Amino acid sequence: MKKMVNIALPKGRLGEKTYGLLKIAGYPCPSIEETNRKLIFENEEVGVRYFWVKPSDVAIYVERGAADVGIVGKDILLEYDPDVYELLDLGMGKCRMAVAGPKNFRDPAGATLRVATKFPNIAKTFYTGKCRDIDIINLNGSIEIAPILGLSDVIVDIVETGTTLRENNLEVLETIVPISARLIANTASYKFKFEEINAIRQSLGEQVNKS
């Protein structure tokens, strides 16, 4: 018998695009397309149950098995290092993790570098690799404002179009890593629902190759 696969989708634009891909890959769910405040939707016929969660929470749902698979940005995987399988690069939600700062910024060698970020682990790993002493300033959003107000020297953040940086007179100083959306799976689910999950991976992969 076909087992239902629970799929955590990231709320927002990336989630909607991903659902669009799943739909054409053979996993439509008409109720998810109705405008309402519901968070869980299922289509028994094709064996999927979707739920919308906060993008940064997708990996937690999958790691703990509340979802069998999920769609998550590589940034979240690098930051939280969840114990999940990364099955497929969806090639969407493309951006990069970068160090940014004021134009013509010069690293104050000798002094500790103050780095504002939502991604402390990515920042620490990056600067440890360069043997550079840093002071992490943990923020939750609008990171670009930190160097402008003198709260930090630089930021480590996601850059997509570069508009936010440009409009705040900042620029990319170094690219850390390219980012895109990934299909991830719970390690136990991947064994127990191998057939179903692999079918999703394959159909999605075919759609990704077409686009």
Binding-site ranges for ligand PRP (CB under 6 A): 141-144, 157-164
Report the residue number, 143 or 185, with the smaller CB distance to ligand PRP. Answer: 143
For 87, the token pair is 């099955």
Neighbours of 65 (CB within 10 A): 12
User: In whole angstroms, how close is the CB of 146 to ligand PRP at the nearest point?
Assistant: 11
Contacts (Cβ under 8 Å, ≥6 apart) of 197? 5, 68, 69, 87, 185, 189, 190
User: In whole angstroms, how close is the CB of 166 to ligand PRP at the nearest point?
Assistant: 8
Closest residue to ligand PRP: CB criterion: 141
Report the residue number, 110 or 141, with the smaller CB distance to ligand PRP. Answer: 141
* Euclidean distance between the first and the last CA atom of the chain, given in angstroms as a whole number: 32
Report the residue number, 29 or 123, with the smaller CB distance to ligand PRP. Answer: 123
Neighbours of 25 (CB within 10 A): 18
Report the residue number, 181 or 204, with the smaller CB distance to ligand PRP. Answer: 181
Report the residue number, 84 or 116, with the smaller CB distance to ligand PRP. Answer: 116
Sign, CA dihedral 32-33-38-39, equals positive
Name 101's bridge partners.
171
User: In whole angstroms, how close is the CB of 161 to ligand PRP at the nearest point?
Assistant: 3
Rounded to whole angstroms, the Cα distance separating 13 from 48 reads 20
Rounded to whole angstroms, the Cα distance separating 73 from 58 reads 9
User: In whole angstroms, how close is the CB of 153 to ligand PRP at the nearest point?
Assistant: 17
User: In whole angstroms, how close is the CB of 197 to ligand PRP at the nearest point?
Assistant: 29
